[in-house]
Amino acid sequence: MELIINLAINGISTGMLIFLIAAGLTLIFGLMDVLNFAHGGIFAWGAYAGVWFFSLTQSFLLSILAAVVTGLLIGLVTEYLIIRPVYGNHIQQILITLGFMLVLSEMLKVVFGPDIKAAETPSYLSGSWTIGDVTIIKYRAFIIAVGFLVFIAMQLILKHSKIGLIVRAGVMDREMIQALGVNIRKVFVGVFMVGSALAALGGALFAPSSGVVYAEMGMEFGIFAFIVVIIGGMGSIPGSLIAALLVGISNVFMAYYLPILSMAVTMLIMFVVLIFKPQGLFSTSGVSNK
């Protein structure tokens, strides 16, 4: 039983990391109709920025802040230089963002060197708690807590603030929100920056959990995030959370019991969801995206 609980906790914490990347991606995808394959690259930059700042300052909080700022800045530059010229054209978006993903990965090697970097866990988050026969790794519990806090914060902002209402309305009907006097392009930039910052936060939290960072990690996690967005329904934050937890937990269990099929189970979940709910589990009913 304790094994199952431990695997479940690992799965939830993995799911929370995927959620942090997918939450930004689902907003960008849902609101802006942009397929951003460079999103994983921003996750990797967040991880490297966090590791680098932690080695400089030994402050985990500062390293997280540095990663978030890195994500905001890369998001701003990416929207302005890469995305803006290709709004409305999915093929061009896929090509240019995949290319930019490679650029981001290679730039990591240029700036930080080609070798894998070790990532430390801050001392106060190292170790574990033992409750009965169950061992809870502190850092995994921390990731779960941060993931839930981000989810709650996003829900509160989206449900109760004016800007949240505008974003939700923009996901449903971009044209109408403009006809009501909202400059949706400005909102796009803000959402793109916040989405990128969430990916970078996910990267910074992932690094101590895995113990290492490497330039190609962005591509691996970026694919997971896309699958989660498709399963959860584009534009839906609760959908992304549920889908990320589903993918995280099923992956950890499969990796333990049937490692050869750990990636296949993710694809299987997506396959089943697409057959029965092509719009995803929690697609917003009012999506027209004119």
Partner 1 sequence: MESTLLKLEQVNTHIDQFHILQNVDFEVKSGEVTVLLGRNGAGKTTTLRTIMGLNGATSGSIVFKGENITKLPPYEIAKKGIGYVPEDQGIFYDLTVEENFRVGMRKDDDGTKERMEWVLELFPDLKKFWRKPGGQLSGGQKQMLSIARAYVNDNDLLLIDEPSKGLAPVIVEKVIESIDKMKERTTVVLVEQNFYMASKLGDAFFILDDGITVHHGRMEQLIRDEELKRKYLGIA
Which C-beta is closer to partner 1: that of 120 or that of 173? 173
For residue 162, the minimal CB distance to partner 1 (Å) is: 7
Residues contacting residue 145 through CB under 8 Å, at least 6 positions apart: none
For residue 32, the minimal CB distance to partner 1 (Å) is: 16
For residue 83, the minimal CB distance to partner 1 (Å) is: 18
Which C-beta is closer to partner 1: that of 163 or that of 267? 163
Please report, as ranges, the residues that interact with partner 1 according to CB under 8 A: 162, 165-166, 168-169, 172-173, 175-184, 284-286, 288
Which C-beta is closer to partner 1: that of 180 or that of 260? 180
For residue 70, the minimal CB distance to partner 1 (Å) is: 31
Select from 257, 253, 246 the least CA-distant residue to 7.
Answer: 253
Neighbouring C-alpha atoms within 13 Å toward the C-beta of 45: 28
Which C-beta is closer to partner 1: that of 104 or that of 171? 171
Which C-beta is closer to partner 1: that of 123 or that of 285? 285
For residue 190, the minimal CB distance to partner 1 (Å) is: 15
Query: For 170-176, which contacts have Cβ atoms below 8 Å and span 24 or more sequence positions?
Result: 170/31, 171/27, 171/30, 171/31, 171/235, 171/284, 171/287, 171/289, 172/284, 172/286, 172/287, 172/288, 172/289, 173/286, 173/288, 173/289, 173/290, 174/31, 174/33, 174/289, 174/290, 175/290, 176/290
